[in-house]
Each structure stands twice: as C-alpha cells, then as structure tokens.
Amino acid sequence: MEALTRPLGKLGRATAEALGGMGYAAMLLYESLYLSAFGWRIGQPLRLRAVLEQMRQIGVDALPIVCLLAFTVGIMLGIQFVSALGEFGAQSQVVIAVAKSVTREFGALITAILVAGRSGSALAARIGSMTVSQEVDALAVIGIDPVRYLVAPALIAMLIMLPLLTVFADAVAIYGAALYSAPALDITPSAYMLQTMSLLDPGDIGQGIAKSAVFALLITLIGVSTGFSVVGGAEGVGRATTRAVVLSICWIIVADMIFSYFLNR
C-alpha cells in the first residue's frame, strides 16, 4: 500500500508546490503592476532611474551577444532553407521562409532564451542573495517595498527591452541569412532585404513581439519568485539561479508552442 501512496503523496506535494509558486508569481505580478501605476499614492513611487538602469542591463548590455547569436541563427536558417528548398526546385521561396520563421518564431525564441540565461538568472541570484543576507528585510523595515524596489523596475524594463531586442534580432538574423543566401539566389544582399520587407506582414513581426512580451513576463516572474524563495545560504542561491534558468526556458518553449498553435491555425 505504501509503495502506492508514497509516490502519490510526492506528486500531490509537488503539485501543491507548483500551484503555490504560480500563485506567488501572480501576486508579484499584480503588486508590481499596481505599484508601478499607483505606488506614488502610498509613498512607493516607481523610480525612472531604476527602470533605466534595468533597461541598460537587460537590453543594451545584451546587444552584442544577441547580435552574434541572431546573425549565426540567420546564416544557419539560410543554409538549411537554400539546401532543403533547393531539393524541390523551390529556392525562390527561401526569402519568405527565412523571413516568416525568423519573425514569427526564432527571433523571439532565441532572444528570450538568451535573456533568460543572462538576466533571469541575474535577477534570481541578486534577489536570492539579498534575501539570504537580510537585505530584503532591511528594505522592508526602511519603508521601501521590496516588490516596488526590486521587481517592478525589472518587470517594466523587461517588457520594454525584450520586444525591442526581438525586433533587433529579427533584423540581424535576416541580414545573416541574406549574406549567405543572396549569392545562391543570384541577387544582392540589399535586394534580398528589400524582398524580405515586401513579403513580410506587420502581423508576422507583431506575432514575435507579442510572444516576446509574454516571455518577458515569464522570465521576470520566474527569476524574482525563485529569488525571494531562496533558503539555505549561498548554496540555496546557486540552486535558485539554476532553477530560474531551467524553469524559464521550459516555460518559454511551452508558451511558444501554445502561441504558435493558436496564431497559425
């Protein structure tokens, strides 16, 4: 009997923990949005300087690596589509295939995974170490709401910068694909880019932007809720950081699949 009840008990506890975690993240989201909008009424104004600082860390500092990865992914897509479509004599479709797959899918996905690894983990580590060393308690007793001070600026910055990074990644990836594919298609890279622009709908880019906004929420909420839940000193902070990255990437991919299903039916 115990062999049956023990796994069930574990499953029940894990489910309850997961639901509790989601509830906590939802509460952090509500508090962050409320304090961002109305915090000034209760003496907890959102500081523009903190948001700008987070925007720099999340967005501007990530530009080189996003550029490198997007460019590489663009070239890879160019290689794959030129080769695969060439087998069917459909090389003329390379431009649209790259354009749609980058703007609808890969631009947002690659950028989000990268930002989860860079900024999601940094959020979890920062808040986790602050929790362990009582800095979060110190903020609270000074009269500074930790959610307003630590979460809201990161959330707002992420919601602004991730879509912008995604659009940037889209452009760089398509340019990478153009550099590889244009000679194979017997056109110039600038003609490739012009053709891409004429083939893309605003909806294609919009799809990537909408996804990136959802990914921004997921990365921030998983990072901060994992950070606030740290127990067990430095080792706990390390565990939380890893957990934040793994959870963020899992949820990003699941959310992407759900998005793709509903938006492309």
The verdict on 141 binding another protein (CB under 8 A) reads yes
CA distance 115 to 4: 41
The verdict on 143 binding another protein (CB under 8 A) reads yes
- For the chain, the C-alpha Rg in angstroms (whole number) is 22
What's the closest the beta carbon of residue 21 comes to another protein, in angstroms?
A: 19
Candidate list 22, 33, 37, 42; residue touching another protein; CB under 8 A: 42
Candidate list 129, 166, 195, 241; residue touching another protein; CB under 8 A: 129
The answer to whether 211 and 264 are in contact (CB under 8 A) is: no
What's the closest the beta carbon of residue 141 comes to another protein, in angstroms?
A: 5
Tokens at 138, concatenated:
């110190």
Q: Phi and psi dihedrals of 47, rounded to 5?
A: -85, 125
Q: Which of 258, 50, 75 lies closest to 172 in space, CA to CA?
A: 75
The verdict on 101 binding another protein (CB under 8 A) reads no
Residue type, 10: K
Tokens at 263, concatenated:
């938006």
The verdict on 140 binding another protein (CB under 8 A) reads yes
Q: Based on DSSP, count helices (H) and strands (E) in the chain, helices before strands.
A: 12, 0
The verdict on 1 binding another protein (CB under 8 A) reads no
Q: What is the 3-state secondary structure (H, E, C) of 135-164?
A: HHHHHHHHCCCHHHHHHHHHHHHHHHHHHH
The answer to whether 162 and 213 are in contact (CB under 8 A) is: yes
Compare residues 131 and 225 and give the one whose CB is closer to another protein. Answer: 131
The verdict on 44 binding another protein (CB under 8 A) reads yes
The answer to whether 97 and 81 are in contact (CB under 8 A) is: yes
Tokens at 149, concatenated:
């001070």
Site string for another protein, 108-127 (x = CB under 8 A): ------------------x-
Q: Which stretch binds another protein (CB under 8 A): 8-16, 17-25, 143-151, 195-203?
A: 143-151
Compare residues 105 and 145 and give the one whose CB is closer to another protein. Answer: 145
Candidate list 137, 197, 203, 257; residue touching another protein; CB under 8 A: 137
The verdict on 202 binding another protein (CB under 8 A) reads no
Tokens at 136, concatenated:
């979060």
The verdict on 142 binding another protein (CB under 8 A) reads yes
The answer to whether 123 and 154 are in contact (CB under 8 A) is: yes
The verdict on 135 binding another protein (CB under 8 A) reads yes
Compare residues 133 and 190 and give the one whose CB is closer to another protein. Answer: 133
The answer to whether 205 and 102 are in contact (CB under 8 A) is: no
The verdict on 144 binding another protein (CB under 8 A) reads yes
What's the closest the beta carbon of residue 36 comes to another protein, in angstroms?
A: 15
Compare residues 29 and 122 and give the one whose CB is closer to another protein. Answer: 122
The verdict on 134 binding another protein (CB under 8 A) reads yes
**What is the CB-side half-sphere exposure of residue 195 using CA atoms within 13 A?**
20
Q: Which residues bind another protein (CB under 8 A)?
A: 42-44, 126, 129-130, 133-135, 137-145
